[in-house]
Structure 1
């Protein structure tokens, strides 16, 4: 059954209702904008967030999907996505498509400035997007492939002229691809990597890689009235051994957790928000490297994996098994792909024999960290099917999307704001996460077809789901289970929302 976009978004949004309800019971009845607390003089000025520091503060060269959450503190996109993942105004207060769908004009808010005080007008947006499209080290250039040219039509109107009808652009420009960088600052790309200049809700005042970033409220942010803390400190996610102590001592006000930490943090009396979000766990596979160049070997791997056991054992019961890059309820999720490769060790051995490996095969699985329980359980499951698996830890600081050193990697796909963009990143010939740089012959046309429908068109869900099916059934990626986001916070933190995609802090405040 094909679901409409509205129904798909509603289903994903429904996944976070429990978290919202538990937050309300903790936070009390004060208004989310902090008005009542402010009047009483009880609002604090600093929030410390435990999250991953970005690999770079330059959205154009960032090669880590998870960077977008930290980058959104310093940069604002042409558009935003709301808590449900829908495109809404950002730097642009509105946008207009041409009747033929071959161009879209974004109408910027007047009087915008960057955090360094320079003007943010249509010319600046044009320059920033063109850098994303043409810079030799850009990781977002493939996502701007349908943009043929950009014109600044006035101080506040910027038009993207397209090579084809593409109604995904408003979603695309809500993430890293559309985050606008000061043209003056981008002249020194090396400096920009540690000293961002954007127009987001905060300004980075100091940054120590691997330690913390200290940010202050940006008074020039277009929605500054909704930013209710003066200072935001970004620190790496606390280690499981110190998560509770960090919350108790006030080292963290809000902290991202892993599934293994949830029980201990709850037992210590801290609220934990649980939200099913868009990212999924996945095995990246380079299908140009033996033995992964044989599709039956990859099918054997997928068939050997018991996804439900991964959820129950390695992920503490959180998440749902998936065979595709989108969670159930999302517009691009194709229900026909459910249980695509059912767990069957005997069938996996048969597929190996058909692939020319009757005595099994030896492979190496690369992990991001040595103690990932998902990797250890996958190793056991593959070994049981004759896929003799050795675990190795990736060299710290080496980005496998760039080096492609490891052909088989336990990873996480952090969702992109546009489903077409997600398909391009994973399966496009120049996709960042496509280790083999091959693509199904039928996928480009399917993507073009899906992009040609307005997001509210009843025909759009079927078209984007067809593109998903082509990609998943022809490419080697092995999708595992959906990701659950766990956010612990001090009872003094109020106004947090559960976002299915990019975390934002409008309306969040802290008691003194």
Structure 2
């Protein structure tokens, strides 16, 4: 799901940029939101206040070239998609008021809401949707084209009807189009100045970007033309980079932020400072990415030994202060893809890990390199746990900006500490993690039976009573046949001033409908 998306995390382990897109660190852009107006009132009456969110800034404001999974949170402020996900991750109407499939699942028709416009004042009709989706499908540098591989053709059959013709049955499309892949961009903007979208987004979201200083601040204004403007109560919104853990509470107290992501280590301090704290389950999971194409992990017994060598509960206690849950699968408890039967599949068992290493021809242990973008914390604790089974892991620190190139393009590292940010579609999550070209599958190998199981997920309607069983079966197969070592879930921990009303507990994409700030 590029979740599908969902949290920048609270440590440097979270991948902030995949391909190094963006401007120089000092770049600043002032924007004029043509046609969006600036009134403090809208369909819902007076809007209230400003949220100053200490979170993360996107790698790009263009959803086609955004290169980090959690960019979706920022991009959802300025763009709308045909669908959106409800708090539980189910697709519901957004720009489209509804959709229907044909009998065999190879064609899906979306009906657009009437009177939609982009923030530049141009019409958001079926022709615009077609152009936007086709750009994502066909641009040579698109980072969402792989997710649209099953879309053979997009047709604007009427001004309000968009038809997607598919190369095979795929019932994941409504979920897939809820995220970056389905965000609709103004054709006027990308036909006139496509490079400008990196810093000057033109969409139809709840807010419009009015100024942007890269690595410093994004300032947004309420968009009264948003299709669901009645539920957007905030007049202004500001986004800042992820706060430093050592100063985040002081920054909240000073008013630099009134909502901020905090690590588990700061929860007690936040509460003591009189701040409200919300722990929101997310789709983010910490993981060790294992390259099964490189020795020693080309031996399945060595890869399996790694699963039993890791004390996940100890990692959760130390790295997350207990916030989250131990996990050995990509989906969190409560999500439809979570397989309860796989909970506890790989208990901490160093004796079994040693036996597997001996079976693989390493009775005296072995040497390997643990690559990371963080010099402290999780890598050191994993290193110590591996030492207990005779594995000497040398920690290799690489810059965050080059991590994807080194780990997932060059496929040159044995083992890498990472976080998977989830995706909007379960099938998309499988593709990213386990697909033969999956970004987080450095070994680029997938068992045929898993490919078949994922294909069955796509071919099963989301409202079918069989869907949970089919999806959970794919999850069960993946965690038994792929080498990824999942560790623990990473919830979204938000501290906020009492003047800010509660934040919706959205699992996949953080939304702000109904939020007010005094």
Same fold, TM-score > 0.5, yes or no: yes
Is 1:181–2:155 an aligned residue pair? no
Answering whether residue 473 of structure 2 is matched by residue 469 of structure 1, we say no
Deviation for aligned residue 1:82: 1.3
Give yes or no for the alignment of 1:106 onto 2:113: no
Cα deviation for residue 375 of structure 1 reads: 2.4
- Residues 54 and 239, structure 2, Cα contact 8 Å, conserved in 1: yes
Q: Shift of the alpha carbon at 1:370?
A: 2.4
Residues 1:399 and 1:125: Cα distance change in structure 2 (over 3 Å):
farther
SS in 2 for 1:398: helix
Alignment of 1:454-465 (within 5 A): 454-465=461-472
CA contact (8 A) 1:319 1:482 kept: yes
1:345 aligns with one of 334, 350, 356: 350
Give unpaired runs (5+ residues) of structure 2.
1-39
Distance 2:165 2:349 in 1: 50
- Give the match for residue 484 of structure 1: 491
1:423-464 alpha-carbon deviations (Å, 9 max, x no partner): 111111222222222222122221222222222211111111
- Partners of 1:441 and 1:53 in 2: CA distance: 39
Contact 1:454/1:460 (<8 A) preserved = yes
2:337: which partner in 1?
A: 332
Instruction: Give the number of equivalent residue pairs.
Output: 473
1:405-444 paired onto structure 2 within 5 Å: 406-444=413-451
Q: Who is 1:293 aligned against?
A: 298
Residues 150-165 of structure 1 aligned to structure 2 (within 5 Å): 150-165=154-169
The TM-score normalised by the length of structure 1 is 0.88
User: Cα deviations across residues 116-161 of structure 1 (Å, max 9, x unaligned)?
Assistant: 2222111111121122222222222222122121111111100111
Instruction: Note closer, same or farther for the CA distance 1:454–1:396 as it changes in structure 2 (3 Å cut).
Output: closer
Partner of 1:506: 513
Distance 2:397 2:498 in 1: 37
Compared with structure 1, are the counterparts of its residues 370 and 189 closer, same or farther at alpha carbon in structure 2 (3 Å cutoff)?
farther
Matched, 1:254 2:265: no
- CA separation in 1, counterparts of 2:63 and 2:403? 16
Change over 3 Å in CA distance of 1:196–1:407 after alignment to 2: farther
Tell me which residue corresponds to 2:272: 267
Q: Is the 8 A contact 1:315 1:374 kept in 2?
A: no
Q: What is the SS of the residue equivalent to 1:471?
A: helix
Aligned CA distance change for structure 1 residues 68 and 358 (closer, same or farther; 3 Å)? same
In 2, are the aligned partners of 1:139 and 1:432 still within 8 Å (CA)?
no
Matches of 2:337 and 2:358, distance apart in 1: 34
Q: Look up the match of 2:135.
A: 131
| Distance of aligned partners of 1:253 and 1:403 in 2 relative to their CA distance in 1, 3 Å threshold | farther
Contact 2:88–2:335 (8 Å) recurs in 1: no
2:370 corresponds, among 365, 371, 378, to 365
Cα distance change of structure 1 residues 270 and 403 upon mapping to structure 2, 3 Å threshold: farther
Give 1:366 deviation, angstroms: 2.4
Deviation at 1:495, TM superposition (A): 4.2
Task: Check 1:435–1:58 CA distance in 2 against 1; reply closer, same or farther (3 A cut).
Answer: farther
Residue 50 of structure 2 is matched in structure 1 by 46
**CA RMSD across the alignment:** 2.0
The answer to whether the 8 Å contact 1:142/1:430 transfers is no
Deviations 1:179-202 (A, max 9, x none): 111223234443222221111111
Quick one: distance in 2 between partners of 1:117 and 1:427? 42
Matches within 5 A, 1:366-381: 366-371=371-376, 373-381=377-385
Match of 1:16 in 2: none
Alpha carbons 2:264, 2:321 under 8 Å: kept = yes
Match of 2:146 among 119, 142, 146: 142
Q: Which residue of 2 aligns with 1:496?
A: 503
CA distance in 2, matches of 1:292, 1:207: 44
Whether the 8 Å CA contact 1:66–1:414 is kept in 2: the answer is: yes
Deviation at 1:286, TM superposition (A): 2.0
Q: Distance in 2 between matches of 1:266 and 1:455?
A: 40
1:324 positional shift: 0.9
SS at match of 1:136: coil
Unmatched segments (≥5 aa) in structure 1: 1-33
Query: Do the aligned partners of 1:142 and 1:431 also contact (CA within 8 Å) in 2?
Result: no
Give the CA deviation at 1:319: 1.8
Q: Is the 8 A contact 1:301 1:387 kept in 2?
A: no
Shift of residue 402, structure 1, vs aligned partner: 4.5
Q: Partners of 1:147 and 1:496 in 2: how far apart?
A: 35
CA–CA distance in 1 between the matches of 2:459 and 2:365? 46
Distance 1:379 1:79 in 2: 43
